[in-house]
């Protein structure tokens, strides 16, 4: 049985000028009088997919989705080497989110996010707590440097052959993520594309050992989307997501009065459960839901848990 709501279409959409020459694509769907909620996609740089809408009851939610700077339908696109990446940081994304809220005339909203989107949700909620009614995040990360190092180095002990291919695909020998960030800025388009493919092949490998883990989740996208996502990921991860190390966990006490749900797969190899567990201890009104037998990409059980958490917020 399908655990999600049927797919439905947006009733409004547009491009928001957020400054710095950036236009952010947004769309709104569901009930215009419903409870406002915003979706923060992963990556960074993955873009928002229609399937995200299906977690929300269209008769009870007013759902806002948008493509973060440089990806999806937002402009300028990070696949274009001329796009200035210095204008794409966590602080920029938090500010964009607040501009979008104001543009749509929303006072407060439920903030949801997946994977990198959970990091952005925490960064936004800790900065604008008075604008957040609840937090529902899955594949929980805080993008600490220790988490980045685990994903792009530590996991290699379980996948030595794949990691060696990942390491050998770009020149360097020091910080592998920094080496990829440089390769993805190379003026030669062939070098950039090869780096993007190798980057996504590694991310696919990290979920390949998970129960129900797909094998081409990250690399199964067109070249333009792949180039943008890899460039944005490497840009952020080679710089600690432009966050002080551990700041989102240290300041999670700001969310002590914010209800929510933290959903995480027990066998998430790339983003171990520890971060979600530590965050839950700082958020007494948030429930930690550990999904047994599933990993970062989840499955039917994780999808149902997220849908139930969102349904519960508008029950009655």
Active site residues: 115, 268, 296
SS3 288: strand
Other Cβ atoms less than 10 A from the Cβ of 315: the count is 9
DSSP E strand stretches across the chain:
10-19, 22-30, 35-40, 61-66, 109-114, 132-138, 260-265, 286-291
SS3 79: coil
Length of the chain equals: 316
186's CB contacts (< 8 A; 6+ apart) are 192, 195
What is the C-alpha separation between 28 and 34, in angstroms, rounded? Answer: 11
Residues 24 and 100: beta-carbon distance below 8 Å = yes
């Amino acid at each position: 049985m399908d655990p999600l709501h049927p797919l439905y279409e947006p009733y409004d959409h547009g491009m928001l000028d957020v400054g710095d020459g950036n236009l952010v694509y947004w769309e709104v769907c569901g009930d215009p009088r419903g409870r406002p909620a915003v979706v923060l996609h992963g990556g960074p740089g993955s873009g928002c997919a229609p399937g995200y809408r299906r977690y929300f009851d269209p008769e009870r939610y007013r759902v806002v989705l948008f493509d973060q700077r440089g990806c999806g339908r937002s402009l300028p696109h990070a696949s274009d080497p001329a796009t200035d990446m210095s204008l794409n940081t966590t602080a920029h994304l938090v500010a964009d989110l607040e501009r979008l809220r104001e543009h749509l005339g929303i006072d407060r909203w439920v903030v949801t996010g997946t994977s990198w989107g959970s990091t952005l949700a925490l960064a936004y909620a800790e900065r604008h707590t008075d604008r957040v009614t609840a937090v529902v995040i899955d594949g929980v990360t805080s993008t600490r440097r220790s988490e980045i190092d685990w994903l792009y180095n530590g996991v290699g002990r379980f996948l030595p052959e794949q990691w060696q291919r990942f390491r050998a695909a770009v020149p360097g020998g020091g910080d592998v993520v920094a080496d990829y960030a440089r390769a993805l800025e190379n003026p030669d388009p062939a070098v950039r594309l090869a780096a993007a493919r190798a980057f996504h092949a590694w991310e696919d490998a990290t979920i390949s050992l998970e129960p129900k883990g797909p094998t081409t989740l990250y690399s199964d996208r067109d070249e333009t989307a792949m180039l943008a996502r890899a460039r944005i990921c490497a840009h952020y991860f080679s710089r600690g997501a432009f966050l002080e190390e551990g700041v989102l966990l240290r300041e999670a006490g700001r969310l002590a009065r914010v209800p929510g749900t933290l959903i995480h797969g027990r066998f998430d190899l790339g983003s171990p459960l520890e971060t979600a567990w530590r965050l839950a201890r700082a958020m007494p009104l948030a429930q930690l839901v550990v999904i047994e037998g599933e990993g970062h990409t989840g499955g039917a059980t994780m999808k149902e848990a997220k849908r139930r958490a969102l349904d519960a917020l508008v029950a009655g």
